[in-house]
Amino acid sequence: MTRLSGLVGGIAKFGMTLAVGVGLILLAAGLATAADLKGYALGAGDKLRITVYNEPDLSGEFEVNGEGYVSVPLIGQIKVIGQTTSEVQTLLTQKYGKDYLVNPSVSIEVTNYRPFFIIGEVNRPGGYPYVNGMTVINAVALAGGYTPRANHDRIKVKHGSDTVEQQQQVKEDSAVLPGDVIEVPERFF
């Protein structure tokens, strides 16, 4: 009976260790995704929820236009392209505090990221909505999978946040960010 209880106790400890390990891996994966977007630079097509505390008329959902501006009540258009939500939050707080409100409290969140694009040897090339944690293989799946001529080993990505027109070769498990353009080339037999 002692051997059996020792075995059961060992299995229970192993199960607990395994559960904690898997939990930590999942937590790390979630944090990696959040960390990737923490310094996310806003761009055309992003939708923002701007909340000015106790000012419902100044709060709402706003879209970054093609030139990188967002139009907010009282202030008008402000350029947000290339800035983080924290930088825009600080800018709005300063502008509302300077001329309109006493000690304003402003928060901003991205409610809808701009799409990513996939071209080349996929069944349905085009633009698709970005989802947190997106990888190249997820993007290919959204685009209907590879065509028979697709070269899986030479996939290239042009990041939407890059100012230089430069493509990088990536693997299928590489992260995709909003505004990225993924190219799946044709293989040569």
Compute CA distances 92 → 10, 99, 119, 132, whole Å: 58, 11, 37, 26
CATH number of the domain that residue 136 is part of: 3.10.560.10
One-letter amino acid of 138: N
One-letter amino acid of 10: G
Residues 23 and 52 in one domain: no
Buried b (16+ CB within 10 A) or exposed e, 123-161: eebeebebeeebebbbbbebbeebeeebeeeebbbbbbe
Residues 69 and 23 in one domain: no
Neighbours of 70 (CB within 10 A): 23
Range of the domain at 9: 1-38
Residues 93 and 51 in one domain: yes
End-to-end CA distance of the chain: 65
Residues 120 and 171 in one domain: yes
- At 95-144, the pLDDT tens digits run 999 989 999 999 999 999 999 999 999 999 999 999 888 999 999 999 99
Q: Looking at the 3D structure of the chain, how many domains does it have?
A: 3
Range of weakest confidence among 13-22, 75-84, 159-168: 13-22
> Taking the model in full, what pTM does it have?
0.68
- At 133-183, the pLDDT tens digits run 899 999 999 999 999 999 999 999 998 776 677 888 999 999 999 999 999
Answer with the one of 97, 112, 127 that is the final residue of a domain. 112
User: What residues contact 93, with CB distance under 8 A and at least 6 apart?
Assistant: 104, 105, 106
